Amino acid sequence: MRQILHISDVHFGPPHLSELAAGVLTFIADRQPDLVVISGDLTQRAKPHQFKGARQFVDQIPVPSLVVPGNHDVPLYRFWERFLDPYGAYSRHFSEELEPVYRDEELLVVGINTAHGWTFKDGRIRLHRLLEVAQVLEEASPDLLKVVVAHHHLIPPPWFGTQRVLTNAYEAMDLFTSLGVDLILSGHLHQSFIGNSEEFYPQGRPPVVILHSGTTTSNRGRARERDKNTCNWIRVGSDSLLVSNFRWESSLGRFAEHSRHWYPRHSRSPYTLEGLVEPLAGEEGPPEATAILR
């Protein structure tokens, strides 16, 4: 079994909340995930010292991590830099790898950069990256859990407002569902969402589970997550996925489970709960926590 912590929009800079970042590190120390995914917006304004803060934070994570950039990691007001060297600050002060891939015996996790210098807020996937990802997915063993990480969202959650999906979201989702992707992790909206591809792009194919993390460590939560901070905890079983949305509970001084969702891995059949639920029985959650089994 693998366990993944999905956090997002940590926004080093004025909106960053260091108490929450410390809470994330405690969460990681307590639960020892196999991988930590950060789905973009490391900084507020792509400034060197903000990237250095993000680097220091990630360096304190004692397990492997996979990070992709977000639109806030491209300079907004430094126009020359924005158009001529949009990822220069990211590369110099955080990482030269903009689209990392993580593999182990059970997981294949592919990062996609959806933040481009000529867009202010909306994202897109470059065609050549989509083709590269297609090849990686095609060549992967069917036994691996296949995960795609992109900062911008591919589906519109129910309280979508004016936020548009990725420009080529439909084409990307068509590809991902046809190539057996199990899970897509995104951020950007600063609101959690847990759903699946068939709810928005019905194609009659096995659905891809889609998770949006809210902002995990900033004061930029939106709508129903205004002033709230969230992350997702994913347990990968041999034939099913169990996803918990965690929310920061200031009265407890830690992240606590807010909801729980079970999904079959469609590449595996038949599927069972096979021990995933049992270890959770003794876990604490806030009184309003709900368990949702599908």
Instruction: Please report whether residue 70 would count as binding Fe ion according to CB under 5 A.
Output: yes
Are the beta carbons of 66 and 102 closer than 8 angstroms? yes
**Residue span binding Fe ion (CB under 5 A) among the ranges 6-14, 93-101, 156-164, 171-179:** 6-14
**What are the start-end ranges of the H helices in the chain?**
18-31, 48-59, 79-84, 88-93, 127-139, 169-178
Nearer Cβ to Fe ion (39/168) = 39
Binding footprint of Fe ion, residue count (CB under 5 A):
5
Provide CB contacts within 8 A for 254, sequence distance 6+: 23, 26, 27, 248
**Residue span binding Fe ion (CB under 5 A) among the ranges 3-11, 80-88, 166-174, 206-214:** 3-11
Single residue of 4, 5, 7, 9 touching Fe ion by CB under 5 A: 9
By three-state DSSP, how is residue 145 classified?
strand
Single residue of 188, 235, 247, 261 touching Fe ion by CB under 5 A: 188
Q: Given the structure tokens 């004016």, which residue do they identify? A: 162
**Residue nearest Fe ion, Cβ-based:** 41
Nearer Cβ to Fe ion (43/245) = 43
**Residue span binding Fe ion (CB under 5 A) among the ranges 5-13, 84-92, 153-161, 166-174:** 5-13
- Site mask for Fe ion (CB under 5 A), range 29-48, x = bound: ------------x-------
Instruction: Please report whether residue 182 would count as binding Fe ion according to CB under 5 A.
Output: no
The candidate with the shortest Cα–Cα distance to 251, out of 5, 23, 17, is 23
CB atoms within 10 A of CB 39: 31
**Residue span binding Fe ion (CB under 5 A) among the ranges 70-78, 156-164, 199-207, 269-277:** 70-78
Nearer Cβ to Fe ion (126/268) = 126
Single residue of 71, 191, 217, 232 touching Fe ion by CB under 5 A: 71
Distance, in Å, from the CA atom of 150 to the CA atom of 186, rounded to the nearest integer, reads 5
Alpha carbon distances (Å) from 7 to 21, 125, 148, 244: 10, 21, 14, 12
Under the rule (CB under 5 A), what is the footprint of Fe ion? 9, 41, 70-71, 188
